[in-house]
Amino acid sequence: MNDAEAPRPDVAGPQTQPAVTSRPPSASAPSILDDSQRGLLKSVLNRIVPPRPELPGAGDLDVGASIEQSMSASARLRRLLLDGLAEIAINSERHWHVPFAASDPAHQTTILEHIEHKHPAFFVALVEHTYRGYYTLPMVHRAIGHESRPPQPLGHRLPPFDPALLDRQRQRLPFWRQTP
């Protein structure tokens, strides 16, 4: 499946396709964010899913690229995320007098909590796209001990069906009306 055929998420919600692939972004994919916005998004993503000893944070794993790709496919998502990122940058400068990325983790958390309460639609979309991007990465699957198959309905192995489970139902008399 090439990039043009891949389904693209709109705003938020469960997705059936991995958000981050090992393929480089298409050269024809429009660039939505400038370098400062990408740096801000990377810092925010690393705060939402911080690095841990065995795994980098979401920003360091380039989940921002999948979010930017989703933004290029949806004007509504693009506006929502661009406005939200601007609010994060403004709040950081206004309250802490430093860029978000230069703030200490406690200040970053305070800023994100403020944004979560002030702009809940932005925050929900950001978190869902972050999780979708992060938890579909094969590296993350291996680190958390998950099979490298996508989540249900596309992947978890189910135990073989036991027809004996229906024996009791088969013994019941029909309780429905026959149709012609």
Structure tokens belonging to residue 134: 């992060």
Is position 133 within any domain? yes
> What residues contact residue 50 under an 8 Å CB cut-off, 6+ apart?
57
Is position 118 within any domain? yes
Mean pLDDT of the chain: 82
Note the pLDDT tens digit of each residue in 68-110: 999 999 999 999 999 999 999 999 999 889 999 999 999 999 9
Tell me the C-alpha distance between 94 and 89, whole Å: 9
> What residues contact residue 89 under an 8 Å CB cut-off, 6+ apart?
40, 99, 100
Is position 90 within any domain? yes
Nearest 5°: phi and psi at 58?
-60, -40
Q: Cα dist. 105→46, 111, 133, 156, 176 in Å?
A: 10, 10, 22, 36, 62
pLDDT at residue 1 greater than cutoff 90: no
Total of domains in the chain = 1
Q: Which domain holds residue 49?
A: 35-171
Residue 145 confidence class, pLDDT cut points 50, 70, 90? confident
Give the single-character DSSP code of 55: B
Is position 153 within any domain? yes
Tell me the C-alpha distance between 138 and 175, whole Å: 49
pTM of the model: 0.68
Is position 161 within any domain? yes
DSSP string spanning 22-50? SSPPPTTSPP-S-HHHHHHHHHHHHHHS-
pLDDT at residue 148 greater than cutoff 60: no
Is position 102 within any domain? yes
Structure tokens belonging to residue 63: 């989940």
Is position 25 within any domain? no
| Residue 144 vs residue 7, higher pLDDT | 144
- DSSP-derived 3-state class of residue 52: strand
Is position 5 within any domain? no
Note the pLDDT tens digit of each residue in 9-34: 444 444 444 454 444 445 555 689 99
